Amino acid sequence: MPTNILLDVLRTRRGLKWGIPAMFLGVIYVLIAVTCTGLIEHGWSTWLYLVFLLALWNALKFLLFGPWSLVLLARSRSQERSARSAVIVPY
């Protein structure tokens, strides 16, 4: 799934800073889900419930990853800081 590939890239050290902007993709997926339910109410095919579920699932993944990326970023910065302070510099 493309969203899983994107989330794998975002989970790297370089990608963690893009966690909060990636939440906007979650908002777009929520809009897609709302549009699908609106179309179903207006008589479109009920097969759109599958698109609704997929969009809702992807929205949850991105919306929950944003705050989690801040936790992961803080943890990696803390580990980097402790690794730098543990280095003994010879004269």
In a domain, 47, yes or no: yes
**pLDDT of res. 84:** 80
**pLDDT of res. 89:** 65
**pLDDT of res. 29:** 96
In a domain, 91, yes or no: no
In a domain, 1, yes or no: no
Reading the chain (91 residues) residue by residue, the pLDDT tens digits are 788 898 889 888 888 888 899 999 999 999 999 999 999 999 898 899 999 999 999 999 999 999 999 999 999 988 888 888 776 666 6
**Nearest partner of 36 among 12, 16, 57, 6, judged by Cα:** 57
Residues 72/11, Cβ–Cβ less than 8 Å: yes
d(CA 58, CA 64): 10
**pLDDT of res. 82:** 84
Question: Structural domain of residue 40, as residue ranges?
Answer: 13-76
Determine which helix (DSSP H) or strand (DSSP E) holds 34, and give its type and residue range.
helix 19-41
Residues 10/67, Cβ–Cβ less than 8 Å: no
DSSP one-letter code for 88: P
For the chain, how many structural domains are there in total?
A: 1
**pLDDT of res. 64:** 93
In a domain, 34, yes or no: yes
